[in-house]
Chain A
Amino acid sequence: MTEPHPLLKVKDVTKSYFEDGKEFKILDLIRFELAEQDFVCVVGPSGSGKSTLLRILVGLEKPTSGEVLFEGQPIRADNPQVAMVFQSFALFPWLTVTQNVELGLEAQNVPLPARQARARKFIDAVGLTGFENAFPRELSGGMKQRVGIARALAIEPLLLCMDEPFSSLDPLTAQNLRDEILQLWSDPQLPPKAVLMVTHSIEEAVYLADRVIVLSSRPGRMVAELVIDLPRPRNRKEPEFYGWVDEIYSLIV
């Protein structure tokens, strides 16, 4: 077997804010790598700077020091190989489901017919057929996040970044969406090749990821990087599953 193709290199990323001449360190020397086929979760308590870390990893913010490389190049926010899913969904309230899904394609100047075909494909993939012309405010929370996921997948990214994508959904909907994300990730026909997700739910991380990066709080430091080798599909009731959850829990507290 060949070595998986590396995608993302995070090199000693540190982030500080300065207020009244004082330095407040948010993130301290974060370093890890992510390759194709990876599903990595970053967990940490609130105040560990995990959302800031994700914003830096996708290029929305600059690190104070260190660097983030995507396929060997410094990351840029508008990189079409990286797509983002938000906790608050971040759908444009004045655009329909289709128009929202087409957003990234429109920015890439994909011609209209191709754009519409691709949007339809991913709206189908997340199970929203029939809601193409609905506006976000007419959808439930779970459906809104499906739009968010379809919008991210539509640009056919190599890497899908998700910022607590399920934490504002009810538990049942969240579980359904988790399984769907796993399915998309493992389907070689569909993007993405790799997933990077930030979450505060340890169980969620153990359920989804094959690697978990644990952050401490204030400043966010890497406490551990664990390889979860449980077979899939994973069962939350098994003692091995709880063994992992307990281990991560003890690392954070």
Chain B
Amino acid sequence: MRGRRRALRFVAGILVFAGIVAAIASPQAALKALQLPLFALFSTSRMVAAYLIGLVFAIAYGHTAATNRRAALIMLPILDVLQSIPILAFFPAALLFFVVTFQGSAIGIEFAVVFLIFTSMAWNMAFGVYESLTTIPQDLEAAGSSFGLTGWLRFRLLEFPAAIPKLVYNSILSWTNGWFFLVASEVFQVGSSKFARPGLGAFIADAGRNGDVASIAVGLGVLAAVVLALDFFVWRPLSVWSERFRMDTASGRELAKVPRYEPFRWMPRFPAVRRTIIARAHPATQAYHRASVRLDRAYASHPNVVRDVRVVDLGLFVIVLLLVVTTGLIGLGQLFLRPLPPEAVGLPWAALLSFSRLLLSYGIALGWTIPVAVVLGESERVSRYLTPALEIFASLPATALLPVILGFSLAVVGSTGGAAQLAAILIGLFSMQWYLLFNLVAGVRSIPQDLREAARSFGLRGRPYWRRLLLPAMTPSLLTGSITAWGAGWNALIVSEYIEYAQRPYTVTGLGSLINQAVLVTGDTEVLLLTILTMIVVVLAMNKLLWRPLLKRAAIRYRLEV
């Protein structure tokens, strides 16, 4: 808690400092910065809208897949593919669709932005719901059935609570993804037309395009403050609260004492605010209870309603699925019936280059995160001082750091080409490293005290300690971290290989820059589609041939069974 408060104070300090610097360096920028709170509000609202849609989708999708075995046969593979393909590559297409649908109005762009953020948030949450519902202990399920829990009551008392821990955990992940996409999507160019919506992402991107260092700093500061504030006031309390819903009674293992949840306990500094919120929220919770009771009754008198809704739901899903699949197939057919464009020859080479750069980013990330994770995981003291600082850096999505990273690269490497290469690798690094670090720290922390003590009592130290305890114990979290990190890396390609900075583009050869070229310069949809396809093939191949088998082996050998 002390570390958190220090972190908050640190952020506030940075903000004030950045504000002063900006005001001195450029009064104009300072004036513009006054709009920032409004921009922050706009951006956050988009996130909230996308998140709420994602939440409803995730619960509906996960619930259907978990309770309908036949539907699960198609729903799960679809989710799997959606989760692993780089969504950002589809954004130009989605944007065009929405802009055309809404005839170029701002609403269309808003829809496109929210849709993009939604696609970055929904899939893992849906998986979380599915996993939670399919792993409800058999006895608990039986208790629900034998005491007559059905329909809405079953959902309210059994299924939804059971899904809460994974839903909250995945929401935090989704929210992080969302920022990454939000910043990338608020400003977008298709051909010669530029689409922009006021927001923090657009502010930072514009500042970068103009090379306005002061505005970049202020924008990043505000972004970090918003991300951290939401984390502090929303996600952390939620994740403490979600502990209450963990299934530990079945395993018989005593977990660490979970603090009893009290509403708004985390606002110790503002007792008045807290009291007001509780008082205000009271009618709402009462209303919720009344509505619940009414729903229970309604269900009791119309037992078929839920089933009918489910049938309609499934029907709609199948129709949408058929539409998507047929249009996709027709598109593909058209694509391959025509002779391939000359650019297609360069695709494997571009894929190889992109992959190599990501591999380099991944290597660097591994190189520093493994030792740091061990230190953070083993030493409570170091962790208390270092974690807040790391969290501040991690709060900045890599997409927001584009201008900073490119500026840094230009300062380090003289040549334009070299700077673009370095920037692409660094952006890859920044999108990958935090997933690795935080997963690895969790892995080190999960090593049971017994094992540590056993290792110590047998005198394991240095290399043997790493080889026999640390590395094996970290393997599962290393794999999950790597999979998420690579997912983020592929998405980062779209923004890292083609950067506009101070009125000029910096590009390197690769899949991401091919996509950008096709969208921004040539407007060649064929090349665009082929590039996206190549990327998807590479990503899916890597998942099937590398990560899946590794995960399977790790699950057998390296799981710390309790």
Contacts and interface: CB of A to CB of B under 8 A. Distances in A.
Interface in B295-316: 296-297, 300
B148 A108 contact: yes
Among A58, A106, A144, find the residue whose CB has the most chain B CB atoms closer than 10 A: A106
Interface string B211-255: 000000000000000000000000000000000111111101001
Contact of A91 (B249, B296, B300): B249
A86 interface: yes
Interface residues of B, number: 30
Interface in A129-156: 135-137, 141, 144, 151, 155
Contact of A95 (B145, B157, B164, B260): B157
B148 A87 contact: no
Nearest to A87: B139
A18 interface: no
B143 A93 contact: no
A151 B147 contact: yes
Contacts of A87: 139
B297 A78 contact: no
B417 interface: no
Contact of A137 (B140, B148, B248): B248
Contact of B142 (A82, A84, A93, A168): A84
Given A91-B249, A94-B245, A103-B157, A86 B139 contact: yes
Contact of B148 (A80, A86, A91, A94): A80
A90 to B, nearest CB: 4
B258 A137 contact: yes
A135 B142 CA distance: 20
B158 interface: yes
Interface in A97-116: 103-104, 106-109
A107 B158 contact: no
Given A109-B297, A135-B244, A93 B249 contact: yes
Nearest to A103: B147
A88 B137 contact: yes
A60 B146 contact: yes
B153 A86 contact: no
Given A60-B142, A88-B137, A93-B246, A107 B258 contact: no
B300 A109 contact: yes
B551 interface: no
Contacts of A83: 146-147
A190 interface: no
Given A58-B146, A60-B145, A84-B146, A93 B248 contact: yes
Nearest to A77: B145
B161 interface: yes
Given A60-B142, A92-B157, A168-B252, A155 B147 contact: yes
Interface of B: 137, 139-140, 142-143, 145-150, 153, 157-158, 161, 164, 244-250, 252, 255, 258, 260, 296-297, 300
Given A59-B146, A90-B139, A91-B143, 4 more contacts: A82-B146, A84-B147, A106-B153, A107-B149
Interface of A: 55, 58-60, 77-78, 80, 82-84, 86-95, 103-104, 106-109, 135-137, 141, 144, 151, 155, 168
23 contacts: A58-B146, A78-B146, A84-B143, A86-B139, A87-B139, A88-B137, A88-B250, A88-B252, A89-B139, A90-B143, A92-B143, A92-B158, A94-B164, A95-B157, A103-B143, A103-B157, A104-B147, A106-B157, A107-B148, A135-B260, A137-B249, A137-B255, A151-B147
